[in-house]
Amino acid sequence: MKRIFLTAALIINAILSDCQTANTVHHVLNVDVNPETAEMFVTDTISGFATDNLVFRLNKAFKVESKSPGVSVKLVSDNSKAGDIGMDRESENEGVVLSKWKVSGNANSVVISYEGKLDAEIEQSKENYQRGFSQSPGIISDNGVYLAGSTWWVPVFENSLMSFKLTTVLPADWKNVSQGERTLDRFFDGKHIDTWVCNSPQEEVFLIAAAFNEYSYDMNSGVKAMAFLRTPDEGLANKYLEVTEQYMDMYQGMIGDYPYSKFALVENFWETGYGMPSFTLLGEKIIRFPFILHSSYPHELLHNWWGNSVYVDFDSGNWCEGLTAFMADHLIKEQRGAGEEYRRSTLQKFSNMVNTENDFPLSKFLSRHDGASEAIGYGKSLMMWQMLRRKIGDDKFVEGLALFYKNNKFKSASFDDIRIAMEEVSGVGL
Ligand SMILES: [Zn+2]
């Protein structure tokens, strides 16, 4: 008997190490949110953590208790800064103070509970357009709820990704949007309760809630297009649902299957342009500019391939912004006969912003923080993809992208991984 178990365990380990670069910790989260008092109450059943890595980090606002008999969770320290931790590379919000907790006892899974109040102010960023991690350390308010990786509201084990099942209890007219697929959506006892399940390894868990009006459309590809608006507007929702299908078809044809089962437009309560895995969070004004439908919106949709399923290995530079700008902003202009114009204005921005003092190689780009870093990380990068495409031809370029996607889905990838795929399909030494 023992040998059979051991063999099974070895096979499972081999499968895991073959298809995942980092360990995936699974969270079953039950969350009760009170927008009036800014409080939240969480129970989290955690499994899949490595036995040699029993320490997790969490926002200091929360007091943790173990609910598993024989397993203790002890405070190790309560003053580490979010900015000191490698994983949060894109965050400018380094002020969140974290506690470190250690799990002790012989357990493969542990149930913990924690509660706290999150009522920080939202700082409006000068740079609205950035991916993922936000300026806000997380907020629960009458106006809406925004919890993300930068909030540190879900226990984070080092060098781990996370999968989750998130059940949220909210006021009756509210809804939550998160990554993955919604498996429960109902009223119970004067409250609204919903569950989102995401089994693909994620970098963070989002909980975005408000009194949303919901619209949806089942696309031919089998993926669901959804829109969550803060004021009812069927006309606006329909425009988004339509272009979702148009660009979904285009990108699935070029790169490969969309990695999630839905894509949602979600209206935020401050002006943002964030692309999260399987949804985008756009501000009230932004979603009403007609040009967004064919610029920022497809850009955020494309991030589901680049950045939100193939993750960025930041040690060797952020390849995903330039590639996304090239295949969304630039390509859509090119399809309308304005590719040259777009490239000329990209080059103009570069020569206006960048000089010998502030220039740097693409391998040093992490995220944009000023005009120069944008002209490099988006602009110079975009021109490099254009050069590569001209060198190996459109067909090989697209074939190489599809191979890169296939080989690196739900893993961290680098410029090198793209080079390897492009060399393989083109036979050209790059
Ligand atoms: Zn982007």
CA distance 37 to 29: 20
Residues 189 and 321 in one domain: no
Residue 127 has pLDDT above 70, yes or no: no
Averaged pLDDT, 273-279: 92
What is the token pair recorded at 336? 């309308």
Q: How far is the CA of 61 from the centre of ligand 1 (A)?
A: 31
User: What pLDDT digit, counting tens, does each position of 299-314 carry?
Assistant: 999 999 999 999 999 9
Please give the pLDDT value at position 107.
75
Residue 80 banded pLDDT, cuts 50, 70, 90: confident
Show the DSSP H helices in 112-170 as ranges: none
Last residue of a domain, which of 247, 282, 302? 302
Q: How far is the CA of 332 from the centre of ligand 1 (A)?
A: 15
Residues 227 and 373 in one domain: no
Q: How far is the CA of 198 from the centre of ligand 1 (A)?
A: 22
Residues 240 and 327 in one domain: no
Higher pLDDT, 419 or 368: 419
Q: How far is the CA of 144 from the centre of ligand 1 (A)?
A: 24
Residues 82 and 106 in one domain: yes
Residues 63 and 171 in one domain: yes
Question: Could you tell me if residue 357 is inside a domain?
Answer: yes
Residues 106 and 228 in one domain: no
Residues 336 and 368 in one domain: yes
Task: Using DSSP bridges, classify how beta strands 156-157 and 23-34 pair: parallel, antiparallel or unpaired.
Answer: unpaired
Averaged pLDDT, 163-169: 98
Please give the pLDDT value at position 83.
61
CA distance 185 to 2: 43
Q: How far is the CA of 348 from the centre of ligand 1 (A)?
A: 20
Give SS3 for 333: helix
Which secondary-structure segment (H or E) carries 384? helix 381-392
Averaged pLDDT, 242-270: 97
Q: Give the strands of the sheet with 213-218, arranged side by side.
A: 213-218, 224-229, 262-267, 279-282, 273-276
Question: Could you tell me if residue 7 is inside a domain?
Answer: no
Q: How far is the CA of 131 from the centre of ligand 1 (A)?
A: 6
Residues 348 and 398 in one domain: yes
Supply the CATH number for residue 352's domain.
1.10.390.10
Domain count, the chain: 3
Q: How far is the CA of 308 from the centre of ligand 1 (A)?
A: 11
Q: How far is the CA of 321 from the centre of ligand 1 (A)?
A: 5
Q: Which domain holds residue 162?
A: 19-117+152-204
CA distance 78 to 212: 36
Residues in the chain: 430
